[in-house]
Amino acid sequence: MVGLVTELLYQKDSYLREFYAYVIEVSGNAAVLDRTAFHPTSGGVDKDIGFLYRDGDVYRVVDVVLEEGGVVKHVVGDVSGLYPGALVRGVIDWDRRYRLMRLHTTSHILLAVMYRRCGALVSGGHVYPDHAGDDFDLEFFDRRIFEEAFEEVNEIVRRGLEVRVYWLPRDEALKIPGADVQADGGPHVRKTSEVGRVVMLSAESRGRRRKRVYYTVKP
């Protein structure tokens, strides 16, 4: 189908756990919906999982993939009973999603702190439900740089700052350099205090200009 896109409900409301949508395409073992609260793996944040319900049938969503052009595929074990035009109710695994939101918000704070403290830009990273890792463009490896950064991260978390999300045209958004304004479409928490307590797990050198740090949030 040409010009078909999925409306990304999580971008308007990252706290939305349930939604109704129509199936617009079924391909392989995946259903494309006209709208979804399921976040696909993108922007360095891992996917949601959960369930789709249609009449009495339950479909376990095991993967969510954003296809080029803007459709979101919901991979389920068995698509029988799903067809274009079918109305489904989607329910995301909220415990997993909320941890992704807390850790994703933490990564923004960490990136801002690392940039301010030592001018280090992030060169990669990934947020999983149980931990996150970020690579920084740093010449020297010193664990204390990260330990001190996480102290500051936790201060910012405790202050309960409001997290603001801006929507900009893509070309404009991509012009914004590092710091505490970063271009992504991922889900965040509303206040930094929702993050909880940030704990550094480990740090390692992955190359001359690549120093990686792993962290998690508690509880």
Residues of the shown chain interacting with Zn ion in the complex, contacts defined by CB under 5 A:
184, 186
Looking at the Cβ atoms of 148 and 184, the one nearer to Zn ion is: 184
Shortest separation between residue 2's beta carbon and Zn ion, angstroms:
30
CB of 43 to Zn ion, least distance (A): 7
Q: C-beta of 163: minimal distance to Zn ion in Å?
A: 9
User: 39: which DSSP letter?
Assistant: P
> Closer CB to Zn ion, residue 57 or residue 180?
180
Query: From CA 46, how far away is CA 24, in angstroms rounded?
Result: 24
* Smallest distance, Zn ion to C-beta of residue 112, A: 12
Question: Could you tell me if 8 and 56 are in contact, meaning their C-beta atoms sit under 8 angstroms apart?
Answer: no
Q: With b meaning 16 or more CB within 10 Å and e meaning fewer, what string describes 124-152?
A: ebbbebebbbbbbbbeeeeeebbeebbeb
| C-beta of 76 vs 186, nearer to Zn ion | 186
If the CB atoms of residues 50 and 186 are measured against Zn ion, the closer one turns out to be 186
Q: Which one, 152 or 184, has the nearer CB to Zn ion? A: 184
- Say if residues 215 and 106 touch (Cβ distance below 8 Å): yes
- What sign has the CA pseudo-torsion 131, 136, 140, 146? negative
Half-sphere exposure of 188 (CA within 13 A, CB side): 20
**At closest approach, how far in Å is the CB of 186 from Zn ion?**
4
